[in-house]
Amino acid sequence: MPKYDVCLSFAGENRDYVEEVARHLRDMGLRYFYDNDMQHELWGEELTEYLDVVYRVDSRFCVMFVSEDYVRKIWTIHERRSALSRGLTDPHSPYILPARFDDTEVPGIRPSLGFLDLRRFTPFQLAEMIAKKVGIEPGPAPQGWEYRTFVDAVGQGMRALGDKKLSHEMGFAETARTFSTDTESLDYYTARSRKFDDIVNSVTDLLSPQKQQWAFGPSGQAGNAEKIRLLATRFAKSYEDLLDWAADLRGTVTPARHRPLYEATARLADQPLKQIDEFLEHFAAAAERGAGELVLVIDYDSSEVEAELKKVQTT
């Protein structure tokens, strides 16, 4: 009998997603190999030999998390080769289970091999699929599964925003348009200011009591997984809209005297973005306990923007 039901082979750049999968596998009672959970066993071992046995012999299935990073990293190449060699000794039983973050081709993996597209699966959903493949029914959903589903789905959306978040923190944006007159610049500024209010309102509307009941169900009743995932996806999209809104202002070339106004307004997004980040952090911790409270209050101080706007209007 194999030591593990499944081993997880992935690039470090995708660790956040895989770690969530491992946590769900643990809760479902599967025997799995995930390096961070096995540090005590890996300590002092000759890793090339040890991991070869894990990925070639000791596991019933190998979930291969395919990405551009996966195919170029030294350790994942080693793991992949060990997993592929398993096919020479057991050619009639499926072993490698590809799960794709993107469409990168993996040397040695035929395009016809069935795979799962991780752009459509949350970590919890993938863990459920692995459990079923192993032959273990996940069983009834644990109390508070709705909150963990929401956290997983939001996390999936947020991970896709890594580059945009870094660009925002750097204050970087590609040039999007150029205005040479004051009238053009101010007209566009007015329109974008209204858009900011629309985005903030959409965030709070997504967590309104009506939307929560629609997705999470009335008190004492189970929620709807598809509705929860849709709510979470729209929530992450609103966060992206805030990043795009700020980048759009920074990427607009204006007359010199309007530049401070545009910069100050772009920074206005920092406050709701931070509040959303803190909300998600606290909510994720509560979801681990099988509870959650979807209450997010967004407020922001616009005094800097108002001061810059006054300067523009009085000169």
Predicted model pTM: 0.71
Q: What is the pLDDT of residue 249?
A: 96
**CA 198 to chain CA mean position, Å:** 24
C-alpha span between 8 and 234 (Å, rounded): 30
Give the helix ranges, DSSP H, for 7-107.
Answer: 15-27, 39-42, 47-56, 68-72, 74-89
Confidence of residue 98 (pLDDT cuts 50, 70, 90): very high
Provide mean pLDDT across the span 154-181.
Answer: 90
> Could you tell me the end-to-end alpha-carbon distance of the chain, in angstroms, rounded to an integer?
80
Give me the residue spans of the domains in the chain.
4-134, 145-313
pLDDT over 80 at 41, yes or no: yes
CATH number for the segment(s) 4-134: 3.40.50.10140
How is domain 145-313 classified at the CATH fold level? A middle domain of Talin 1 (1.20.1420)
Q: What is the pLDDT of residues 244-297, one digit of tens each?
A: 999 999 999 999 999 999 999 999 999 999 999 999 888 888 777 666 667 888
Query: Residue 5: which H helix or E strand, with range?
Result: strand 4-9
Q: Which residues pair with 32 in a beta bridge?
A: 6
| Among 124, 111, 109, CA closest to 28 | 124
